[in-house]
Amino acid sequence: MEIQQLIESRRNIKKFKPDKVDLEQIKSWLHSASMAPNHRLTEPWEILFVGTEAREKLNHKRNFGDAPVVLAILSKRGSSKVETDENMVAVSCFIQNFNLIAWSSGIGTSWSSLGITPTARQILGITEEYDVVALLGVGYPEEVPIAKERTPIDRKIHFVK
Ligand SMILES: Cc1cc2nc3c(=O)[nH]c(=O)nc-3n(C[C@H](O)[C@H](O)[C@H](O)COP(=O)(O)O)c2cc1C
């Protein structure tokens, strides 16, 4: 699929098929995702594979739409607010890289911000050193939602003299 079509057709998946996704393939996509831009090469991402016990405790949206794999994507906090913010931005690039690589193989993802809650952080054993940028369901989509309309980009473009 051409990159523009890939970007436009990716959706946040709510319901997954039970079919397994190969672990080595996921690892290879995570490696590719790590080529994301990141200021001063902080490589702030850490990835947790979330097991069944933790998933039950998280009790999120029909068990993450029954995704066969759930990842928690963390961002290392920096020594300043700027560094922490930049790390989160870099991790967002990492996640979108992953989403698009997966989607190019027909694998969908669901991005949830549940991980920011204190309860979820405790269930996942996240220390104060990290932000949780996403809980990511990964799997073959049972259905792909229709795209939500975006504001025409001309209304978002501004020219500065
Ligand atoms: C930082 C971030 C947090 C998100 N958290 C949630 C969430 O908690 N629950 C949810 O259903 N979707 C969440 N989403 C997904 C958005 O709701 C979704 O991308 C948006 O509705 C547009 O749909 P699309 O991705 O299918 O185009 C999140 C997306 C981002 C970038």
- C-alpha 112 to ligand 1 mean position (Å): 6
Confidence of residue 1 (pLDDT cuts 50, 70, 90): confident
Confidence of residue 124 (pLDDT cuts 50, 70, 90): very high
Would you state the pLDDT for residue 142? 98
Would you state the pLDDT for residue 46? 98
Which of 12, 74, 97, 116 most suits a substitution to test ligand 1, by most atoms within 8 Å of the C-beta?
Answer: 12
Cβ count near 76 (within 10 Å): 18
Q: Residue 136's closest CA among 42, 29, 35?
A: 29
Would you state the pLDDT for residue 36? 98
pTM: 0.97
- C-alpha 33 to ligand 1 mean position (Å): 19
In tens, the pLDDT along 69-88 reads 999 999 999 999 999 999 99
Taking residues 95-114, report their average pLDDT: 97
In tens, the pLDDT along 128-161 reads 999 999 999 999 999 999 999 999 999 999 999 9
Residue positions counted in the chain: 161
In tens, the pLDDT along 6-40 reads 999 999 999 999 999 999 999 999 999 999 999 99
Would you state the pLDDT for residue 6? 98
Taking residues 101-126, report their average pLDDT: 96
- C-alpha 141 to ligand 1 mean position (Å): 16
Confidence of residue 115 (pLDDT cuts 50, 70, 90): confident
CATH superfamily of domain region 3-155:
NADH Oxidase (3.40.109.10)
Q: Residue 110's closest CA among 144, 59, 87, 75?
A: 144
Cβ count near 144 (within 10 Å): 16
CA angle 110, 141, 45 (to 5 degrees): 35
Ligand 1 pocket, residues with Cβ under 6 angstroms? 11-12, 111-114, 145, 147-148
